[in-house]
Amino acid sequence: MNFIDVLFPLDIGKKSVCGIENMTNVTMNLSGKEFRKINLQTPRIVYDISDGIKSQKDIEQIVTFFRLCKGRFHSFRFKDWFDYEVQKQILKPIQGGSASYQFIKSYYVNEACVDRKINKIVKNNTKVYINNALQSENSYIVDHNSGVLNFPAPLASDDVVSVDFEFDIEMRFGNDLLNFSLSPEKNIPIMLIEVL
């Protein structure tokens, strides 16, 4: 993976336009029955950062960042201002009896739920609870680039681990060519990298 642990400029990212895309093939047979096949297990997030570029300083930041990332080659951290905080998220062990837990975010609509794996945890912004008791920061280790919470030893099977945290997403530039002006008419897309 060609990830560099740098954060995209917050002021430009905050003014950018976000889209969430699923890829579904829909075919219909002669009787009119539809068949649907989803091609992505998780939606792809695409930002158009051109709306965030308002000044010469913004252009200089983007050019520098684009050079650092070598276009589409390196991915980077990006704060999704629409979705970056989690409160009291319950985590499950990666394997039964394990001391490791994967960060996730659960999205609910009534009783339906979908979990999203979270990899890029913001440093110095995590609170860990066991059975609703806040744990000291030296009692666990967070891998901020894989989104894994580690305890020194496995917990009891009936212990409930929950977390409060902020997260970034891993994005890359959508093109190898950076082409814009102070009044950009073309899109400058960046896209989500989904790590499985």
Verify that 90 and 163 share a domain, yes or no: yes
CA 33 – CA 22 distance, rounded (Å) = 21
Verify that 73 and 100 share a domain, yes or no: no
Q: Which domain holds residue 61?
A: 3-26+34-78+170-192
In this structure, what token pair is assigned to residue 2?
């060609």
Q: Which tens digit of pLDDT belongs to each residue from 76-126?
A: 999 999 999 999 999 999 986 689 999 999 999 999 999 999 999 999 999
Verify that 66 and 138 share a domain, yes or no: no
Among the listed residues 24, 21, 19, the one whose alpha carbon sits nearest the alpha carbon of residue 39? 24
Verify that 107 and 149 share a domain, yes or no: yes
Verify that 61 and 89 share a domain, yes or no: no
Q: Are 46 and 82 in contact (CB under 8 A)?
A: no
pLDDT higher than 60, residue 185:
no
Burial of 174 (0-12, 13-18, 19+ CB in 10 A): middle
Verify that 16 and 60 share a domain, yes or no: yes
pTM summary value: 0.86
Pick the more confident residue, 97 or 53: 53
Q: Which tens digit of pLDDT belongs to each residue from 117-174?
A: 999 999 999 999 999 999 999 999 999 999 999 999 999 989 999 999 999 999 999 9
